[in-house]
Amino acid sequence: MNRGLVFLILLAFLLAAVALGLFTGGMQLPPGEIARALFRPGSDGIAGTLVWELRLPRIFMAGMVGSALAVCGVVFQAILRNPLAEPYTLGVSGGGSLGAVIAILLGISGLPMVLICFAGCCLSIGVVLGAASLKGFSNSMLILAGIIMSFLFSSVVMFIFAVASSREVHSSILWLMGSLSAPPAGSVKMLLMILPVMLSLLFFARDLNLLSLGDEPSYHLGLDAKRTKTYLLLGASLITGVCVALSGIIAFIGLVVPHAVRGMTGADHHSLVPCSMLAGGGFLILSDTLSQVIIRPLELPVGVITGMVGGLFFVIYLLKARPAEVS
């Protein structure tokens, strides 16, 4: 399929998801009231509050987090040359989970909790990248170190669950499922801070093409593989850490979206990176909207929706893939 056409289709998909999220949600209002409130930013009343203080910030957060996880998935799959790599491969989710559970156990919420969670993410990133640097950032060392840190942090979280009260365990599990229902104060500003890093990944499309060939071929083609991998891994991990700190662990986006988009655009990262950002943002906005309406007035964690869709996608993918593609 023509890459420009794919970009336009995904852009239309993103805009349609935004419109659906704006006019549909946990609370039903007539579309006319929502439209009037949308064109009157300072308007009072339920519709004005709902649109400008609740739905638009939530849609923006979902779009940013979805785009970030998708593009980080593209980066990790290219660097590690592993189709099953995702933003959580380096143990970022494990460190963030430990930080969040400790904050919940101590009764800390809001922005301080986000900072503690992000500190856990940074701890995991630092240990994994530090260990991998001793082996020249080899892919096997990166993956192995990430798996070890994930198991280590998960074991500590399980220990905390074993000694914590049922209420604290329930709150922690809900956070671990991923949710956009109650973004902490300052979340929009934090997402805007990582936006330049996300956009900078667009300029590394050629480098990602070379890295996907392997370290030695990329070196012979004039790329400093070690330095480039260090920047990309650090940047993508920090982006993922911010997303985990703000929204919990939202599964499968960084794994499913790059696969789906690659099937439409091919493996060239000049088109794969921007198209994955559009698809990831639209997919998470749509998933978050579904999480609000499926059992209205209750709300599902959005990670439940993305997990179900992601699992179904890979079942279909494995059934349709040729043996060479699966191996």
Per the prediction, the chain carries an average pLDDT of 87
Quick one: pLDDT band at residue 327, thresholds 50, 70, 90? very low
Domain CATH number, residue 40: 1.10.3470.10
What average pLDDT does this structure show over 287-304?
A: 88
- Structure pTM? 0.91
Q: Which domain holds residue 145?
A: 3-326
- The span from the CA of 105 to the CA of 168, in Å, is 6
pLDDT recorded at residue 213: 84
Residues 209-233 have pLDDT tens digits of 998 887 778 777 778 878 888 889 8
Quick one: pLDDT band at residue 322, thresholds 50, 70, 90? low
**Total domain count, the chain:** 1
pLDDT recorded at residue 186: 77
Q: Is the pLDDT of residue 197 over 60?
A: yes
* SS3 labels along the chain: CCHHHHHHHHHHHHHHHHHHHHHCCCCCCCHHHHHHHHCCCCCCHHHHHHHHHHHHHHHHHHHHHHHHHHHHHHHHHHHHCCCCCCCCCCCHHHHHHHHHHHHHHCCCCHHHHHHHHHHHHHHHHHHHHHHHHCCCCCHHHHHHHHHHHHHHHHHHHHHHHHHCCHHHHHHHHHHHCCCCCCCCCCHHHHHHHHHHHHHHHHHHHHHHHHHCCCHHHHHHCCCCHHHHHHHHHHHHHHHHHHHHHHHCCCCCHHHHHHHHHHHHHCCCHHHHHHHHHHHHHHHHHHHHHHHHHCCCCCCCCHHHHHHHHHHHHHHHHHHHCCHHHHC
Cα atoms found within 13 Å of the Cα of residue 66, Cβ hemisphere only: 30
Quick one: pLDDT band at residue 31, thresholds 50, 70, 90? confident
Amino acid identity of 291? S
Q: Is the pLDDT of residue 177 over 80?
A: yes
What average pLDDT does this structure show over 36-57?
A: 81
Top mean pLDDT of 59-63, 298-302, 322-326 is at 59-63
Quick one: pLDDT band at residue 46, thresholds 50, 70, 90? confident
Q: What percentage of the chain carries pLDDT values higher than 70?
A: 97
Residues 237-256 have pLDDT tens digits of 999 999 998 898 998 899 99
